[in-house]
Amino acid sequence: MKLQEPQTVLITGASSGIGSSFAQLFAQQGYQLILASRSENKLNELSQSLHERYQTKSIVIPVDLAKPDGPPILYERVKSYTGTLDVLINNAGVGSYGFLHEQNITAELEMLQLNIQSVTHLMMLVLPDMIRRRSGRILNLGSTTSFYPCPLSANYSASKSYVLSLTEAVANELSGTGVSVTALCPGGTGTSFFRTAGMDKQKVASTASLMSPEKVAQAGYDALMKGTTVVVPGKQNWLLTQAPRLFPRKMITRITRGVLEQTL
């Protein structure tokens, strides 16, 4: 059922994958969309497709959230277009693969800026107004790696652990305010993530074991609307997140490294 009065959602990393799937879901429900990513061409294509299919109004904002000035630039653009932001989907993020000491320092620091700093920055920008209105929802994209360290993807898994911890802490702080925050923690998903991270030859990137971005986004959307703090789509993925409670952390770390080392 569509909204009687359109609300506004900002989706970062909206040009493809899970972000694009979120855009489809919110468009179906009659939201006004603000679509943000680095790829203006892809955003325009998505905006046009959504308009043709759902008659949805979309605002396209090309922005690089891997740069420190990205979040405030995005926020100011959003405020210039709409006075009220009802939902924030902090979806933008990237990964990397390899030994930490062999990684490109600039690229790794930009990943941390995107996966950690921009998520926190945007939350801190939008939350005061949401709390004043006693209404608002935020979703942060975590990962099953939010629950355990991953050698060969050390910065990425650490960044997703941060996202989960931040979300759970702020969810507690927001109790009674009318505002909720949700961490969506999927496992391997059929997007361009593994190729971009340089992991397309790893066994974990096998399409047979990947969940579709549509299913991941649907699980996140449902949890967001219920005000659920943490959601892990898929029973197998959920079981994986429970392993650190059952086995020593050193064992879990050896296992995750072994999994990431396996090639197709």
Which positions are annotated as active-site residues? Answer: 156
Q: Which of 55, 53, 54, 14 is CA-nearest to residue 34?
A: 14
For residue 33, what are the β-bridge partners?
Answer: 9, 58
* Interatomic CA distance for residues 63 and 103, integer angstroms: 25
* Interatomic CA distance for residues 1 and 162, integer angstroms: 35
Q: Which of 162, 158, 154, 163 is CA-nearest to residue 97?
A: 154
* Interatomic CA distance for residues 14 and 202, integer angstroms: 26
CB atoms near residue 19 (< 10 Å): 25
CB 227 within 8 A of CB 181: no
Tokens standing for 79? 């405020």
Burial class (CB in 10 A: 0-12, 13-18, 19+), 159: buried
Strand 136-141's sheet: what is its strand order? 58-62, 32-37, 8-12, 87-90, 136-141, 179-184, 230-231
